[in-house]
Structure 1
Amino acid sequence: MRLGNSEIRVKLDSISKHGENWKGVDYLIFNTFVWWTKSPSPKFLSAKHEEKDMYVAYEKGLRTWANWMEENVDTKHTSVFFNSLSPHHYWSPDWNDPKAINCATETTPIVNITRPFEGGAKWKLFDITEYVTQTLKLPVHYLRITALSQYRKDAHSSFYTVPWPAGGKKPLSNRKPESKSSADCAHWCLPGVPDTWNELLYAKIISS
């Protein structure tokens, strides 16, 4: 994946260059999702054409990863883990507060989830991820962290981060907490959610 000037380009056919760094390690821990939906006009590049459908491109990319895993990972020495999708909270109607602005000013968890979030995660991507990881011949420990993370609309970095303009050298000092662009739903830098993910991963490693 290549990022530049907010443009996302995803090469679907090969991961061999970066995959060289994965060979022979004790643990491989993967996840994917948010950058596939981050850009308004992503480019998904195959050898012969640009794939227009994000879902088709997503599965092709995962298949490339899966094929590499089958050919290069020795499970006698390497354990493979895959985190399910990390949801974001851009759509306040998902927690029955249509007047709120994203998760930018949220300070409490969601008490009751009555339905899966429609805005917080693209569930078709969730299904593709689960299907591809479970059809590999080699064992992949699939860690389902999506649902438990949905409750924590208060746990993103939000306006606690310092927003920087593209290519700029100084932070934007006039950014207000209630600004829509302050909501950093791509990251979970506050205590709680990432710690839980790590505890689940550690428990799985120990039990295996």
Structure 2
Amino acid sequence: MNLIHYTKRSSAASCQKKWLARHLEGRTLVTRIGDGNLTIVIFQALLERLRNKRLVFVGDSLIRGQWVSMVCLVDSILPKTLKSMHSTANASLNIFKAKEYNASIEHYWSPLLVESNSDDPVNHRVPERTVRVNAIEKHAKYWTDADFLVFNTYLWWRRPLMNVLWGSFGDPDGVYKKVKMLRVYEMALRTWSDWLEVHVNRKKTQLFFVSMSPIHTRAEEWGADNGNNCYNETDMITEEGYWGQDSDPKMMQVVENVVDDLKARGLSVQILNITQLSEYRKEGHPSIYRKQWYPLTKEQIANPKSYADCIHWCLPGVPDVWNELLYAYIFHQ
């Protein structure tokens, strides 16, 4: 890989715009770093790889951010008349279309992968989260013909117990039971893996699972004052091997076990392990600079860290790096 570094001073500000052009086997990636933002522009090579194909991201708002990142990476090279965006399936499925390439980059909202009472893409903040741990077809029918499937599910499981439903929502004969989260997580992933084994075209579809996306809500973990979070953080964590308490290795082990079992049955799922590299990026979250769904109270305004978003990621930013990894797998597998 040949690297070319140079800087460009912005005419609108005094900050330095740093550019990194990377030439990899005849393809060019250009990275721009400025004002604390990272933008990765992937040129025609990726769209050529996606010609006449579907790339579908499936999961929660974190993988939706990765989808937005991927759309932005290819959007800049497409004329307005040759791209479109639309939603379907009650806005659960959002589709970006590169018309000239007949390629689509899509996101399907399914935060727990299996069916749940949090499946509405807008009204999903429910006090009692419930999953139909053996039901996935309602969602999976929208993925069936994809050429590249990228899954995640983690954050929505983070509670000691999950409410599990055997039966249908609204069915008076349905059976509800509280089950330890880790056990339900495995049950859901087994349902997901069984569906993949039966329905995926092994000659066509490449499968990926994105590992845990870390959060930065406990500043004492990286040596800052107790009670603080990512608010006002401007530097990366420099401690080698740093690992936050909210990243659960036991959950990742469940994923690895399920993926290994699938491999033994002849179906390969590549794990995109983005956890460790993202752990260092406490300064990469939107913090207070995000859309507020409800008006802020006087108390919140007086204490900004109380409403800082230390879960999702700024764009451009960390999800662009995740997509560079995905790009490499898509291109070279």
TMscore range, shorter length: 0.7 to 0.9
Instruction: Pick one of 288, 307, 322 that aligns with 1:159.
Output: 288
SS of 1:58 mapped into structure 2: helix
Measure, in 1, the Cα distance between the counterparts of 2:227 and 2:161. Answer: 27
How many Å separate the matches in 2 of 1:64 and 1:81? 16
Counterparts of 1:153 and 1:111 in 2: how far apart (Å)? 10
Count of aligned positions: 201
Does structure 1 residue 88 correspond to structure 2 residue 215?
A: yes
Q: 1:31 aligns to what?
A: 152
d(CA) in 1 for partners of 2:235, 2:302: 16
Asked if 1:194 is matched to 2:315, the reply is no
Q: CA separation in 1, counterparts of 2:180 and 2:327? A: 36
Change (3 A) 1:49 1:173: closer
Find the residue that maps to 1:22 and give its secondary structure: coil
Is 1:205 aligned to residue 330 of structure 2? yes
* Higher RCO (C-alpha under 8 Å, 6+ residues apart): 1
Q: Counterparts of 1:6 and 1:49 in 2: how far apart (Å)?
A: 16
- Contact 1:157/1:183, CA 8 A, preserved across alignment: yes
Q: TM-score, normalised by structure 2?
A: 0.56
1:44 aligns with 2:164: yes
Match for residue 72 of structure 1 among 181, 194, 199: 199
Q: What is the CA distance between 1:133 and its match in structure 2? A: 1.8
Change (3 A) 1:115 1:152: closer
**239, 261, 268: which one pairs with 1:112?**
239
1:129–1:9 CA distance, 2 compared to 1 (3 A): same
Q: 1:122 to 1:140 in 2, by over 3 A?
A: same
Residues in 2 aligned to 1:129 and 1:49: alpha-carbon distance in whole angstroms: 25
User: Bigger radius of gyration, 1 or 2?
Assistant: 2
Contact 1:106/1:153 (CA < 8 Å) preserved in 2?
Answer: yes
Counterparts of 2:151 and 2:286, CA distance in 1? 22
User: What's the offset of the Cα at 1:86?
Assistant: 0.7
Q: Distance in 2 between matches of 1:101 and 1:108?
A: 15
Counterpart Cα distance in 2 of 1:176 and 1:114: 35
Q: Which runs of 5+ in 2 are unaligned?
A: 1-115, 119-123, 168-174
Deviation at 1:125, TM superposition (A): 1.1
Residue 143 (str. 1) matches residue 272 (str. 2): yes
Take 1:147 and 1:80, find their aligned partners in 2: how far apart are those partners?
21
Q: Secondary structure at the match of 1:188?
A: coil
Decide which structure has greater helix share. 1
Matching residue within 59, 70, 73 for 2:186:
59
Displacement after TM superposition at 1:44 (Å): 3.0
Larger strand fraction of residues? 2
Q: How has the CA–CA distance of structure 1 residues 153 and 46 changed in structure 2, closer, same or farther, with 3 Å as cutoff? A: farther
Deviations 1:47-83 (A, max 9, x none): 4442420110111111110111101101211110111
State the alpha-carbon separation in 2 of the partners of residues 15 and 177 from structure 1.
Answer: 44
Contact 2:161 2:180 in 1 (8 A): no
